[in-house]
Amino acid sequence: MSKKKKVRVELRKNREKPPRENDITRDYQEGDGRADDARSSERVRAKGNLSRYRTVVQDESADGSTMPAVNAETCIRGRVLRVHGLASVVETDDGRVFRCAVRRLLKSLATDERSVVTTGDVVWIRLVGTGSRDQAAGAGEEQLPAELATEPAEDSAPSLESRTSTIAQEGVIERVEPRHGVLTRASRRREHVLVANVDQLVIVMSLVEPNLKPHLIDRYLAAAQQGDLKPVLCLNKSDLADAVELQSLIGLYAQLGVPVFLCSARTGAGVDRLREQLRGRSTVFSGQSGVGKSSLLNAVQPDLALAVKSVSEVNQKGRHTTTYSQLIKLDFGGWVVDTPGVRQLSLWQARPEEMEGYFPEFRPFVPLCGFPDCTHTHETSCAVKDAVARRFITSRRYHSYLGLFNGTTEE
């Protein structure tokens, strides 16, 4: 049995510091002394701005984690299938599915994340009203609430939600295990973890409707490297484009070591190769709305019956059909996560001087630059800029580098 230790962890501040009054002299006459008295009565440090800490019990082997320890006799290990609002759907190691809330302590931990739990997390849950595994095994079943379950249409294959609409009783997530293989982005100055504990990222892009955005591909490649994911590029709707015109693009990413698949969810072209790429791996599908992520997954495994919509005829942009990430078990082996479409992708906590590392074609030229701290933007004697001028590095990839370096986002 592992040893326990007590540590102090920082919690989120429950009150914001009140704004300082900057008009205290407006209603005072000059020289009457009341303005000085008002200024001296101000707080130096607001009470709500004080740090908040709490003592929690952790495993002695915990490596920098702020998560509390759990009792393996009263808690069950599982994996988060999807997060929908305040509820998380968790499948335990023995195959049962529970609807869970998050322990208040976990939500109060001081982190930069939008949510402490995300799809794909390995968690420990405690069943409500039960205290042991034996009691958990005899737990009754109840129906998933309306916001987490949908009724399958008549004469159609059962949807993923309907296949998990009957779940065991409710539980509480007590601990989230350390993550590996994450896809994350910056969102309103906070970290938005889209999915955790996956092996590879399939970047789904459509060749038309909506049009291909190479700069977004480059951002995804950087996000994959940042999250320790193997990138795979899937170009969908190949039946609507000329494959000859795509050879330069395919060749560019193939030289960078990125597998490229030309697919069509409508005709089935390339689906068999994509299925083999997914077999036995944990994969996340990500891309813009309307590129055909759900359609491709329906083609890979037809009984999924994921909801799909057509592209808007007004602006040729995708419509948000998938509204939350969900972890799906594949019949032929492996897991896949279908994510909502994104319009912009900003890297989380990526410093400008780190951006050159996300472009492997820069590496042979960086040591040849005239300055050791060259940013490859405005300096003279820059070997990277010379390589762009001599077409050893494509101008499009260099433009993507400038966008990441300057922190700009492109749709």
**Pair (302, 207) in one structural domain:** yes
Residue 132 confidence (pLDDT) above 70:
no
Q: Of the candidates 156, 176, 196, which is a domain's last residue?
A: 176
Q: Of the candidates 150, 176, 202, which is a domain's last residue?
A: 176
**Pair (221, 318) in one structural domain:** yes
pLDDT by residue (tens digit) across 212-269? 899 999 999 999 999 999 999 999 999 888 888 889 999 999 999 999 999 998 999 9
The reply to whether 366 sits in an annotated binding site is no
Residue 82: give its domain's CATH number. 2.40.50.140
State how beta strands 166-176 and 97-102 pair.
Answer: parallel
265-284: b or e for each residue (b if 16 or more CB lie within 10 Å)? beeebbbeebeebbeebbbb
Q: What per-residue confidence (pLDDT) applies to 383?
A: 97
Residue 215: give its domain's CATH number. 3.40.50.300
Task: Decide which of 344 and 144 is more confident.
Answer: 344
Mean pLDDT value across residues 190-201 = 94
**Pair (195, 301) in one structural domain:** yes
Distance CA(17)–CA(342), nearest Å, equals: 34
Both tokens assigned to 81? 């299938």
pLDDT > 90 in the chain, percent: 48
Mean pLDDT value across residues 61-73 = 76
Q: Are 58 and 68 in contact (CB under 8 A)?
A: yes
Lowest mean pLDDT among 172-186, 312-326, 368-382: 312-326
Q: Which amino acid, one-letter code, is at 128?
A: V
Distance CA(318)–CA(292), nearest Å, equals: 9
**Pair (237, 110) in one structural domain:** no
Distance CA(87)–CA(380), nearest Å, equals: 55
Q: What per-residue confidence (pLDDT) applies to 374?
A: 95
Q: Of the candidates 176, 194, 227, which is a domain's last residue?
A: 176
Q: What per-residue confidence (pLDDT) applies to 369?
A: 95
The reply to whether 292 sits in an annotated binding site is yes
**Pair (334, 265) in one structural domain:** yes
In a domain, 344, yes or no: no
Residue 312 confidence (pLDDT) above 60:
no
The reply to whether 382 sits in an annotated binding site is yes
Q: Are 125 and 79 in contact (CB under 8 A)?
A: no
The reply to whether 239 sits in an annotated binding site is yes
In a domain, 343, yes or no: no
Q: What per-residue confidence (pLDDT) applies to 84?
A: 84
In a domain, 70, yes or no: no
The reply to whether 289 sits in an annotated binding site is yes
**Pair (102, 235) in one structural domain:** no
**Pair (328, 363) in one structural domain:** no
The reply to whether 294 sits in an annotated binding site is yes
CA distances from 326 to 6, 72, 408 (A): 35, 26, 29
Residue 129 confidence (pLDDT) above 50:
yes
Total domains in the chain come to: 4
In a domain, 91, yes or no: yes
Task: Decide which of 82 and 18 is more confident.
Answer: 82
**Pair (209, 329) in one structural domain:** yes
Question: Residue 319: phi, psi to the nearest 5?
Answer: -100, 140
Phi-psi region of 128 (alpha: psi -120 to 50; beta: other; left: phi over 0): beta
Distance CA(64)–CA(69), nearest Å, equals: 13
Distance CA(106)–CA(323), nearest Å, equals: 24
| pLDDT bracket for residue 171 (50, 70, 90) | very high
**Pair (92, 159) in one structural domain:** yes
Q: What per-residue confidence (pLDDT) applies to 142?
A: 37
Q: Which amino acid, one-letter code, is at 88?
A: S
DSSP state of 113: B
State how beta strands 141-143 and 97-102 pair.
Answer: unpaired
Distance CA(33)–CA(257), nearest Å, equals: 74
**Pair (160, 283) in one structural domain:** no
Residue 301: how many CB atoms within 10 A of its CB? Answer: 17
Q: Which helix (H) or strand (E) holds 80?
A: strand 76-84
In a domain, 345, yes or no: no
Task: Decide which of 156 and 58 is more confident.
Answer: 58
Q: Provide the residue range defining the domain that includes 38.
A: 4-42+50-59
DSSP state string for 340-389: ---S----SS--GGGGGGG-GGGTTTGGGSSSTT--SSS-SS-HHHHHHH
The reply to whether 346 sits in an annotated binding site is no
Distance CA(88)–CA(101), nearest Å, equals: 6
In a domain, 270, yes or no: yes
Q: What per-residue confidence (pLDDT) applies to 219?
A: 94
Give me the residues paired with residue 187 across strands. Answer: 190
**Pair (219, 170) in one structural domain:** no
In a domain, 315, yes or no: yes
**Pair (202, 314) in one structural domain:** yes
State how beta strands 230-236 and 260-262 pair.
Answer: parallel
The rounded Cα 177 to chain-centroid distance in angstroms is 16
The reply to whether 376 sits in an annotated binding site is yes
Q: Are 408 and 344 in contact (CB under 8 A)?
A: no
In a domain, 11, yes or no: yes
